[in-house]
Amino acid sequence: MKFDIMVKRERLYDAFGDLVYAIAKVDGAVQPVEIDTLNRLLADFSGKYEINYTFNYDLAKEISVEDAYNHAIEVCKENGPDPEYAVLLEMMVEVAKAYMGIVPSERELLDKFIDDLKEKFINEIS
């Protein structure tokens, strides 16, 4: 059982890497200051290796924002409610603010993430 939880957690952190990549890329290009901000935020974070790996993979392969987001949101939905989403959202906001503040395309993606999770989890308990 503990192994299943670890695999699940690693998969969730991979999804976090997709989402942070998507927020950095949605305004056109990932900026060095966004990468620096992510690295600073991850310095003491338990999932830093998975997040960094997926972020860098997506960046190197030029994965589309839509593909990165869709993969990540499916993992989050499968994972179910999790207190780590608040940490992820904070990371996404900090990365978005790092270059020219939060622009409309970043705000839209942040709002979409929140709305998609709320819709999924509210429907499950309704």
Q: Would you kindly state where each structural domain of the chain is located, as residue ranges? A: 2-125
Give the Cα separation of 125 and 107 in Å (integer).
27
Q: What is the pLDDT of residue 123?
A: 72
pLDDT exceeding 90 applies to what percent of the chain?
80
Residue 1's pLDDT band (cuts 50, 70, 90): very low
Please state the pTM of the whole predicted model. 0.92
Please give the CATH number for the structural domain made up of 2-125: 1.10.3680
Spatial contact of 77 and 120, defined as CB atoms under 8 Å apart: yes
- The structure tokens listed for 71 are 């993969």
- The structure tokens listed for 118 are 């709320």
Give the contacts of 97 (CB within 8 A, at least 6 positions apart).
none
